[in-house]
């Protein structure tokens, strides 16, 4: 009887793990969609609001607004970090976890290139 119970527990644990993994994989697709939308929006926002696109002008422009929200999309948003001189994408997951992706940027011939640097996970909610 004990062996049957142990076998049943292993089957249940495996199904729970597979369900969690499937949910995780599906959420990553949302991250990609959010990232593409928000970084594209940010680039267009900069193009519309700055006459000359260079790193110093971008930095000075965002200093005026502080670390406020640039744009939001569904369960995510993007903001500029003055201290780090980078953009931070924040995603809200169903279980109350926030994922913060940090993107450095460089400007070459007035084209903005973003480079992913790190992710931080925190508990919390997007307000």
Is residue 1's pLDDT more than 70?
Answer: no
Per-residue pLDDT tens over the stretch 95-127: 778 899 999 999 998 899 999 999 998 886 655
Q: How many CB atoms lie within 10 A of CB 6?
A: 10
Whether the pTM exceeds 0.85: the reply is no
Cα–Cα distance for residue pair 39/42, rounded to 1 Å: 5
Cα–Cα distance for residue pair 66/69, rounded to 1 Å: 9
Handedness of CA 47, 53, 55, 59 (dihedral sign): negative
Please give the pLDDT value at position 36: 93
Q: Tell me the domain boundaries of the chain.
A: 2-123
Per-residue pLDDT tens over the stretch 39-61: 999 999 999 999 989 999 999 99
Start-end of H helices in the chain: 2-49, 55-65
């Amino acid at each position: 009887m004990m062996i049957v119970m142990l076998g049943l527990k292993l089957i249940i644990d495996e199904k729970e793990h597979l369900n969690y993994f499937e949910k995780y994989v599906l959420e990553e697709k949302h991250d990609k969609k959010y990232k593409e939308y928000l970084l594209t929006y940010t680039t267009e926002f900069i193009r519309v609001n700055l006459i000359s696109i260079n790193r110093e002008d971008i930095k000075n422009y965002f200093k005026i607004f502080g670390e406020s929200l640039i744009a939001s999309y569904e369960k995510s948003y993007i903001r500029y970090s003055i201290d780090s001189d980078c953009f931070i994408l924040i995603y809200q997951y169903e279980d109350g976890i926030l994922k913060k992706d940090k993107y450095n940027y460089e400007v070459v011939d007035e084209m903005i290139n973003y480079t992913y640097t790190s992710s931080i996970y925190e508990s919390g909610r997007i307000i």
